[in-house]
Amino acid sequence: MNSHDTISKKSRALFEHSVATLDIATANRLRLMRRDTLSQQAPGRFKAFLIPISATLAIGLGVAIFLPQFQASKTITEQDTVYISAEDDADADMLTWLADAPVEVSSHLQGSL
Amino acid sequence: MTAAITTRMVFEQNGSNEIAADDAAIRLPATLDEFLAGVERRAFRMAELALGHREDAMDVVQETMIKLLQYRDKPAAEWSPLFWSILRRQLTDKHRRNAVKKRVMQFFGKSDPQDEDPIEALPDQNEDPLRRLTDDNSWQALGKAIRALPARQRECFLLRELQGLSVLETAAVMGCSDGSVKTHLSRAMSALRIHLEDWQ
């Protein structure tokens, strides 16, 4: 048996023995540690979602507070009212007439229509 | 209970014979609790060997468990490589922090209080004192020799030889090729042969 095997076997045996004969106090501490760890929430995922959720909530809250005020300031006042003048009435009549007006189709377009 | 799937915890020796480590054989655990219960002692001992300090080893194992929680939804087959990979990174970080701490302490002319572990001095009454003394001496010698190794060789020896991961698993955990694992392991064994001359 070469020295590689000797060191390998002996170190492995020593390691297995040390694991098997771990003192009770340390084993108990490890058990409690495991229990505490498993009772926790997974930290990484919670932290990963915390920032986007907080940002979304803050933006939503801001919109909810300031949007009604913005809309209220945009209510139509007397000054904003646009009165339709007589000239506008005439334009409207003309446009109505144009919509119903007969259209003469020229001879060179007849084939394409 | 799911069918027990025994994975290859077989140590290849010179490519000829193999020693099945029955006690180290891994079944796929049903829960994360079961998985951690199966590896926590081994992880602690490994960290203790790598760091040479029980409280640091305890911290590293706890950090590893907490970080593994992020992957609790992954399939059980992936927990083992993830766990050892996280442990390896935690050990590397701890080594770096300890090195910086030691340099700062030396700069201010203070000795590192972590050099002596009072828990090591406590007697364990469960064992034959002579056997305990012999094992303790061997354990200390092994720890000292392992800590003297370069980081990659140390990781390779701990994962491949002591934890019993296969070459491919070790390569995956260490993030290198299987050829590199073999090279690191060969160099580690050569160095240990010098450090642990008494064992031969």
**Nearest chain B alpha carbon to A13:** B162
Residue A45 domain-assigned?
yes
Q: How many domains does chain A have?
A: 1
Residue A105 domain-assigned?
no
Tokens of B79: 């927990």
Distance from CA of A55 to the nearest CA of B (A): 23
Residue A95 domain-assigned?
yes
**How many C-beta atoms lie closer than 10 Å to residue B2's C-beta?**
9
Residue A80 domain-assigned?
yes
**Nearest chain B alpha carbon to A30:** B40
Q: What does the pLDDT profile of chain A (113 residues) look like in tens digits?
A: 566 678 888 899 999 999 998 889 999 999 999 999 988 865 555 666 777 888 888 888 888 888 777 666 666 666 666 665 656 677 888 888 888 887 776 766 665 55
Q: Rounded distance, CA B160 to CA B142, Å?
A: 15
Task: Please state the ipTM of this predicted complex.
Answer: 0.74
Q: Rounded distance, CA B123 to CA B147, Å?
A: 24
Residue A110 domain-assigned?
no
**Nearest chain A alpha carbon to B159:** A12
Distance from CA of B104 to the nearest CA of A (A): 30
Residue A109 domain-assigned?
no
| DSSP letter string, B89-121 | HHHHHHHHHHHHHHHHHHHTT---GGGS-GGGG
Residue A86 domain-assigned?
yes
> Residue A78's domain spans which residues?
3-100
Q: Using a CB-CB distance cutoff of 8 angstroms, which residues of chain B are in contact with residue A47?
A: none
pTM of model > 0.80: no
Residue A107 domain-assigned?
no
Q: Do A14 and B37 touch (CB under 8 A)?
A: no
